[in-house]
Amino acid sequence: MDDNQKKILSKIAMTIRGLSMDAVQKANSGHPGMPMGCAELGAYLYGVLLRHNPKNSKWMNRDRLVLSAGHGSMWLYSCLHLSGFNLSLDEIKRFRQLHSHTPGHPEYGLTDGVEATTGPLGQGVGNAIGMALGMKLLGSKFNQKDFPIFDNKIYCVAGDGCMMEGVSSEASCFAGHLNLNNLVLLYDSNHICLDGPTKECFTEDTKKRYEAYGWDVFEINGYDFDEMERVLGGLQKKQDKPTLVIVHTVIGKGSPNKAGTSKVHGSPLGKDEVIASKEALGIPLEEFYVPDEVKKYFQNRLSQDSQLETSWNEMFKKWANRNPDRALQFDRMKSYYLPSDLEERLKAIEIKAPIAGRAASQEILQTLGKLLPQLVGGSADLSVSDLTMMKDYPIIAPLNFSGRNIKFGVREFGMGTICNGLSLCGMFQPYCGTFFTFSDYMRNSIRLAALTPYHVIYQFTHDSIFLGEDGPTHQSIEQLSSLRAMPHLNLIRPADSHEVRMAWIAALQYKGPTALVLSRQNLPDLKETQVSFKDGVGRGAYIVKKEKKKPDFTLFSTGSELHVALEAASLLEKQGKDVRVVSMPCWQLFEKQDAAYKNTILGGDLGKRVAIEAGTELGWHKYIGIDGIAICMHSFGLSAPAQELAVEFGFTAEAVVKKLIG
């Protein structure tokens, strides 16, 4: 690298420092330390290394950079603004302000050029690994000799906190197993975390840990452009394994009184320290100053970036003309193709009842796998139990990415973040499975999927006390209420194989995350649920048994308890009671219905309202009223056969009737 280029990169680095200091100070909130410490790294990545097109931030074959250390968002925003993404200087000045495009932590879909929603530390590592896996899958499917449709790289910038969080270990171990040699993890190693020096809490040999995972590891000086070019430029040309690059930096570099300390991690420098830092660094005191040389450099770079995509588009057109069948599959994956007769196809699947919800879903998956080329997924070491395997397709393996089944291993949280990354590729419909109780392990990845939102489907099985003998450690009690409380997550608990079919339609149509909550135990098919998607599950709640005149009782239920509610209604009618029964598989879909429809379900005198569900009652009183009866769980479960637990906890038709009329 010649001296002139190093000179302009140094000026870019100083501009990143200046913008970051000013934005954090103006907001009186933020984390200036990482942007100041990693300014040279940002200058090299956005000024030299990344192959992308800021004028089309969604170009399919772009290099992608995920900032896992999302608290350092001003580093990313400064880089995006300078390199020509649609992020104005006015937005930089509005850092952390209401409705700005520069929120405190990066949010995918809000800010042009942000590749993933990050902030909860470590998850960006998993997102990047999901992207790297996705690009390997796409390359295996579409690349041909002379047509490298997908040959991009995934970069991730992480800090000490990301390295400490267990999710990065889960995901990194998985990446090493699959030898994802299109992934570069840049570890900003500055020996400082929010609470003080890392020597007080984090003294492992990270290099050895990653070597044990099967990664290559390099170390560079974070202020030496020649070392960056030698290592990172070299990896761009040839990379054999997933690679960790430990970048040695000084947090808050340039601050005379706070550099190298935790004082610069999570608080503004202070007006006087900003002035002192700019004077020490030779940065003009003008706020939000961008030198003309920096502007000109990136304007010239933009034309090169645009040409990269133009050349790729020309290659893609030639490839598509020679491979019309593959091009059709490409288009279907990119558009998240759903056949117009999907409901009819799913209804035609022969499923013999009684059958567990998990087993019905597995049968449906076999058909969906053939229909939807974008569908890919797997399980956290439970595919033989949560039944998530697509039997006609191979398991993805090291150096063999032709499969569509993923064995995530016992890594629930990592699995969730990787599926988010797969969703971010823009070509996949990822799904993943585990026992419902273990959704707690992966909860924060589900939360980010809901926040953004990412189109991920979760197949959660063993959904209640009725999994039986494994006992209360595995029996879900509070998880239904907990996940229902999460905005933008559709939770669907189907009652039989027909509702499972319809639940899959809802999940595939919804452009956000869906939790399918399925039984371990066999369930009968119910004639009352045999209605169309638009009249049944698609509404979130619907009447499965209508009263004759005026109900004495209205029973609301979901999942495996719906058949109990119907049986109880029959017993009540024999005793002269009039009963309505409502299946309510998805509260979120029901809440989206218009007032008129809601009134058909909830309006008028419905008699005594009763909820029957083997989970906590939290949330049910919105529908059954303060005086409603909640036949729910009020404790953890017990280890016993499912039939005995039904009697013990009152989930039999006879017990329901006794509860209601004695």
118 closest CA partner among 89, 75, 150: 75
Q: What is the pLDDT of residues 48-78, one digit of tens each?
A: 999 999 999 999 999 999 999 999 999 999 9
Residues involved in catalysis: 412
pLDDT in tens, 185-238: 999 999 999 999 999 999 999 999 999 999 999 999 999 999 999 999 999 999
Mean of all residue pLDDT scores within the chain: 98
Closest among 480, 477, 479, 530 to 500, alpha carbons compared: 530
Task: Please state, in angstroms and as integers, the Cα–Cα distance from residue 214 to each residue in 156, 157, 173, 175, 180, following that order.
Answer: 18, 19, 8, 9, 10
What does the longest C-alpha to C-alpha distance in the chain come to? Answer: 93
Q: Which of 546, 547, 545, 562 is nearest to 631 (CA)?
A: 562
Q: Nearest Cα to 507, choosing from 338, 271, 257, 300?
A: 338
At a CB cut-off of 8 Å and minimum separation 6, what does 297 contact? 8, 12, 47
φ, ψ at 374 (rounded to 5°): -80, -10
pLDDT on residue 399? 85
The CA-based angle 215-219-222, given to 5 degrees, is: 130
Q: Indicate the residue type of 311.
A: S
pLDDT confidence of 662, banded at 50, 70, 90? Answer: confident
Amino acid residing at 650: G
Identify the sign of the CA torsion 298, 302, 303, 305: positive
Percent of the chain having pLDDT more than 70? 100
Sequence-distant (6+) residues with CB within 8 A of 208 are none
Pairing outcome for strands 154-159 and 183-189: parallel
pLDDT at 446: 98
Q: Which of 376, 459, 364, 462 is nearest to 418 (CA)?
A: 376
The domains of the chain, with CATH numbers, are 3-305 (3.40.50.970), 342-529 (3.40.50.970), 539-661 (3.40.50.920)
Residue type, 474: H
What whole-number distance in Å separates Cα of residue 424 and Cα of residue 489?
Answer: 17
Q: Residue 67: which residues within 8 A CB-CB, separation 6 or more? A: 73, 75, 76, 106, 114, 118, 124, 156, 157
Average the pLDDT over 434-459 and give the result: 98
DSSP 429: E
Instruction: Summarize pLDDT for 532-588 with one digit per residue, the tens.
Output: 999 999 999 999 999 999 999 999 999 999 999 999 999 999 999 999 999 999 999
Nearest CA among 89, 112, 113, 29 for reference residue 289:
89
Contact of 436 with 463, CB cutoff 8 Å = yes
Task: Taking residues 406-426, report their average pLDDT.
Answer: 98
* Residue 146 in tokens: 């002379």
Q: Report d(CA 363, CA 348) in Å as an integer.
A: 11
**Per-residue pLDDT at 635 exceeds 90:** yes
How many Cα atoms are found within 13 Å in the side-chain-facing hemisphere of 315? 18
- Checking if the pLDDT of 261 tops 90, the result is yes
Tell whether the model's pLDDT for residue 242 goes beyond 90: yes
Looking only at the bridges linking them, the beta strands covering 154-159 and 64-67 are: parallel
SS (H, E, C) 225-238: HHHHHHHHHHHHHC
Neighbours of 303 (CB within 10 A): 9
Q: What local confidence, expressed as pLDDT, does residue 534 receive?
A: 98
Give the number of C-alpha atoms closer than 13 A to the C-alpha of residue 184, restricted to the C-beta side.
28
Span 390-413, pLDDT tens digits: 999 999 999 899 999 999 999 999
Q: What is the pLDDT of residues 283-310, one digit of tens each?
A: 999 999 999 999 999 999 999 999 999 9
Burial (CB < 10 A; 0-12, 13-18, 19+), residue 509, is: middle
Separation of alpha carbons 207 and 246, rounded Å: 8
